[in-house]
Structure 1
Amino acid sequence: MTSTPGNSTEKRQFHGDLIQLRGDRAAKAIWRRVPLASAGSENSIDEVALQEMLFRHADILALGEIDPAYRNSVPVCMELGTRAGAADALYLTPTGRIVLAEFKLWRNPEARREVVGQILDYARVLGSWSYDDLDREVRNRTQRSPCDIVSEAHSEVEEHIFIDNVARRLKRGEFLLLIIGDGIREGVRDIVAYVQEHSGLRFNLALIEAAVFRRGDGEDLIIQPRVLARTELVPRTVLVRKTILEETDDDPLEEHEPSPIEDENERFWRAVLEDFAFDDPEPEVPQPSRYGSVWVKVDGSGFGGWGLSFGAFLNRSQSGMGIYFTWRTGFPEEERVFDEIVGALSSNEELGSRLEGWKRWSAPSGPPRLGFSRNVEFVDGTTIRDFDEAVGWMREKFNRLVSVLHPECWRRLRAKG
């Protein structure tokens, strides 16, 4: 077929009017499609207005239909500055997942190709960022930290866990990328297939068409999103001597320049874990980390050994540090073991004396914890004051909590079997 003006071989996705029937089905109201155009066009909605509406009301985008992990995305900022330009919108989930969105009117084929290249450029830049880089750019736009913004919508968010999760996903280049337009055409779907084969990042890309409807001359609007196409997760790869290796979650490829906080975290955990061994020989000593926490699993518990676990942490937002034992939500046997151990510590004088000073506390999200915590001062929010004393405290408490409770876990798990 020959393409002529007004008769493109790329057919636009059309929406009919929305018909609203009254309760008696006798009367109806018609909601007509509102065209999207440049600012100032009569009887239309401009790109900026659509962008602001979809940013404020992230639930309109039905991100859970693309990937359930992004269901609770929170709008964080618009016009996020990167060296590749300003990304239209950034959303974050309470678990630290990252969504980038670009809003475009599809005026011509060049606009379609450009927006795909544009959002990939933004993603590549973010893939080189640390959490501190993201925090800085979000503060430039909002005067608030990403964690504060997400915590306002989800009070259960724990800062050190949230920051660790965001940092890991930045490092992996693990994002959900959205291209949102008024009438996405068939050619863009072909671009999605191309992107999936040729990208060097780890992401999902989705195309969303947003149709806007208005009833008569009223101000009320209906926005109807449609997910037209999406990729599957694109794993990041690295070329090593002409062999393609798929990256695993633990692969330290494409390291970014560590931030001052990451440097201090790693210095602390190296000092804690250097030549370190638990009195109980069974649990595995974790590796030093750039992040605010390290973990020890209890082999034999559910979820691959993570049904019961120990976590050691630094928490700069609350000037604290500690080590705790907990269980994973949704594992009743592990919950039983935890409750039995709490009871034994309270009733068994000998066992309780081995963990003198232990306490039980509730977490903002997830199951309760038991262990040790204390205040610690961070100079300028980064460097640990009295570093050697803090290291000594963590080594002693970490060893004591794990070495006393790990055998108790094993004994109770075996008794279950």
Structure 2
Amino acid sequence: MTRALLFPEGLASEPLILTRAMASAEAFGREHQLQRLAYEHPDVIPIEEIDPGAGAVAPLCRELTLRGQTGPVFLDMLGVTRRGRLVLVECKLWRNPQARREVIGQVLEYAGLMRRLSYGDLSALVATRIGRQASNLLWELARDRLSLTDEAAFVDAVSDSLSAGAFDLVVLGDGIRSEIEAVRGFLEAAAGLRSRLALVEVAAWTNPSGQILLTPQIALRTKVIEQQALPYTASPLPTVAAAPVSRDMPREALAPSAAPTASANRQFWDHFIAKAKFSHPDQPPPSHGGNNWVRLALPSASMTLYREKGPQGPSSRCGMFLRLRGEAGRAAYDTLCAELPDIEAETGMRIGASWKDDVDSGTMSVDALVSTDEEAQLAWLAQTSDRLVSAFRPRLSALG
């Protein structure tokens, strides 16, 4: 079935006098224009023909950053249906020679990377991309657009979509039909992926007034591959060491404190644990470690939060760090270092990173001189740990 969508709205006088000559080039001079069209007008995606019963697509974000083996990759658009099935959209102008084969491999790669994420990981990535925080961001983005009422069922459905690799994969282009045979080999490589793949051709027509009529049409659609996908298991990373170490401080200054008192330190961290709130919905609360430090559990790793044993004039040093060890730890460290500019931009802070070959160990750390007022220390620790968790947790989840 072919549908026609007016873009922009308001085709007035001459609906039958249309021409396709050069219309695609005029409508979509660059791929980001097609991407924007899909995000702002998701009805251009014929989702009912791809996934009967899906109803509509609620756009979640554009250019979602995913962590590939060789660095970050960017999904053009992410959406979700009312049944909680995620929709991964990649936009290509087919006059681009590289698009003819690579796009299918790309969208399948994105599906594989998405399977590694939890609901909370995905929420954190979307929040970072659109610059918005909410207690359940994905739900808020989809609720009104799709007229949803059951938040728990939505969260469960999206979580199932992620864990099973059950996505609607859509390649949106301006001239797909001539390339169908060239991509069939890529589809064979998707065995075990429980996703639908659709190639959607968006033909653009113009009338004498210059208005554009779009006719999205499915050029190829696969059935769901029914084989159950193998579960993803992240490679273990060494846990963080108990003794805190900072890049700028002498080791003895960070030894577990005996002052002011162990009971006072315990009371301070009890207060922190009770008050700490994290934007990432998967993050559990901190737990006590030793005297004057606590631990935050992260995927296959942990982060240590500490404060120095005594004041330095009007200030006292507080900090937190992630330690990585061994071969797996070095691989994780190198990946995180490659993304350090992005992490620092997301968190708004400088992050120290160092690796010592003699002990086969490295750290990623943040510390600062904070007022000796305990409320100021608690506020700094809460804000800084929340930002670091939101940045590191999705990346650690993706490391395999």
TM-score calculated relative to the size of structure 1: 0.48
Among the aligned pairs, what percent are the same residue?
33
Q: Which residue of 1 aligns with 2:39?
A: 55
Q: Quick check: 1:102 aligned with 2:90?
A: yes
Contact 2:116/2:162, CA 8 A, preserved across alignment: yes
Q: Which residue of 2 aligns with 1:254?
A: 232
Shift in alpha-carbon separation, 1:235–1:29, aligned structure 2, 3 A: closer
CA deviations 1:63-108 (Å, max 9, x no partner) are 1011113222111111111013110011111221110001101125
Q: Which residue of 2 aligns with 1:374?
A: none
Within 5 Å, which residues of 2 pair with 1:2-401? 29-33=16-20, 34-37=22-25, 45-84=29-68, 85-142=73-130, 143-144=132-133, 145-192=137-184, 194-196=186-188, 198-218=190-210, 220-237=211-228, 253-255=231-233
Contact 1:207/1:228, CA 8 A, preserved across alignment: yes
Q: What is the deviation of 1:44?
A: 6.2
Letter in 2 for 1:169: S
User: Partners in 2 of 1:97 and 1:230 — Cα distance?
Assistant: 17
Shift in alpha-carbon separation, 1:256–1:172, aligned structure 2, 3 A: farther
Contact 1:82/1:125, CA 8 A, preserved across alignment: yes
Q: What is the deviation of 1:110?
A: 3.0
Q: What is the deviation of 1:175?
A: 0.4
Letter in 2 for 1:67: D
Unpaired runs of at least 5, structure 2:
1-11, 236-277, 286-381, 383-400
Q: What is the deviation of 1:205?
A: 0.4
User: Partners in 2 of 1:140 and 1:151 — Cα distance?
Assistant: 20
Q: What is the deviation of 1:163?
A: 1.2
Shift in alpha-carbon separation, 1:107–1:65, aligned structure 2, 3 A: same
Contact 1:130/1:256, CA 8 A, preserved across alignment: no
User: Partners in 1 of 2:27 and 2:123 — Cα distance?
Assistant: 39
CA deviations 1:155-181 (Å, max 9, x no partner) are 433222211111111000100100111
Q: What is the deviation of 1:212?
A: 1.0
Q: Which residue of 1 aligns with 2:266?
A: none
In angstroms, what is the RMSD of aligned CA positions?
A: 3.3
The alignment covers a number of residue pairs equal to 225
User: Partners in 2 of 1:60 and 1:195 — Cα distance?
Assistant: 24
User: Partners in 2 of 1:165 and 1:78 — Cα distance?
Assistant: 21
CA deviations 1:121-157 (Å, max 9, x no partner) are 1111001110011101111122151111101213433
Shift in alpha-carbon separation, 1:195–1:28, aligned structure 2, 3 A: closer
Shift in alpha-carbon separation, 1:43–1:191, aligned structure 2, 3 A: closer
Contact 1:192/1:205, CA 8 A, preserved across alignment: no
CA deviations 1:358-379 (Å, max 9, x no partner) are xxxxxxxxxxxxxxxxxxxxxx
User: Partners in 1 of 2:169 and 2:204 — Cα distance?
Assistant: 22
Greater Cα shift, 67-76 or 162-171: 67-76
SS in 2 for 1:32: coil
User: Partners in 1 of 2:117 and 2:171 — Cα distance?
Assistant: 22
Letter in 2 for 1:179: V
Q: What is the deviation of 1:263?
A: 8.2
User: Partners in 2 of 1:235 and 1:63 — Cα distance?
Assistant: 20
Shift in alpha-carbon separation, 1:185–1:109, aligned structure 2, 3 A: farther
Q: What is the deviation of 1:262?
A: 5.6
Shift in alpha-carbon separation, 1:179–1:161, aligned structure 2, 3 A: same
Q: What is the deviation of 1:43?
A: 7.8
User: Partners in 2 of 1:262 and 1:119 — Cα distance?
Assistant: 26
SS in 2 for 1:70: coil
TM-score calculated relative to the size of structure 2: 0.50
Q: What is the deviation of 1:187?
A: 3.4
Higher relative contact order (CA 8 A, sep 6+): 2
Shift in alpha-carbon separation, 1:190–1:208, aligned structure 2, 3 A: same
